[in-house]
Structure 1
Amino acid sequence: MAKTRFEIAHLIIEAELTKPYVYGTADCFFFGCRIADAFDPARKMVKTYSGSYKTLMGAQRAMRKRGFKSLAELVAVHLEPCAPGEAQFGDLVILQLADGEHVGVCVGAKFITKTERGRSLHDLSAVKAAFRT
């Protein structure tokens, strides 16, 4: 029996948010990659970016090395952009927070991301870009 969009995203969200935050394997970027891959395993985003970095500075270098200036540019290579207000449960977003950009996931009227301090919930005003999964 096929799982619903909610069931697919919910399983990944809960699994990812229980893992300790580790740059390059269990951070906000890989949180988003795992969500995107769950909806379409052919994307292979986790495989593509695994081993790319181990620190925040390393993540920024790895992104620039691939020719991207922002997380939104990078995610746009893999997913179709949509208006932030049209994001559906499980779609990816780029959040602009006080400490920089974060990949988040739409969970209804809110957007969740993974930070070093744990799960972080935000409203639409923090979303600078959104992408269909």
Structure 2
Amino acid sequence: GLQKAWGTRLKFSTAFHPQIDGQRPETIEVTNAKIAVAKEKLKEARTRQKSYADKHRRSLEFQPGDHVFLKVSPARGVRRFGIKGKLSPRFIRPFEILARVSEVSYRLALPPQLSHVHNVFHVSLLR
């Protein structure tokens, strides 16, 4: 064939692992050990971060009848409540909770002027 005519040899790599072809078994063992150590360190870091986050987390559970403030997101250049930009209010008046719709959403009693707004809100928008 062509390989013989040119004096070359076709060298196939190991199936499914071309990146380790030709490496010594000791090198592969060391690499696998380093990967195991890295996985363990990541697991420890994940556990540490979770415990820290849980320590600083507020429980956001409300009961029907509670009064909560509703977060309104400030948009650039939009006038809200007669005030534009950063000075517009972040939260508006206390609203009564009518019902808990799901684990993370609540139905609020909105006034008639907000009748065009859907009355179910995620817990992250309530305070």
Superposition TM-score, scaled by structure 2 size: 0.29
CA radius of gyration, larger in: 2
Q: Which protein has the bigger helix share?
A: 1
Superposition TM-score, scaled by structure 1 size: 0.28
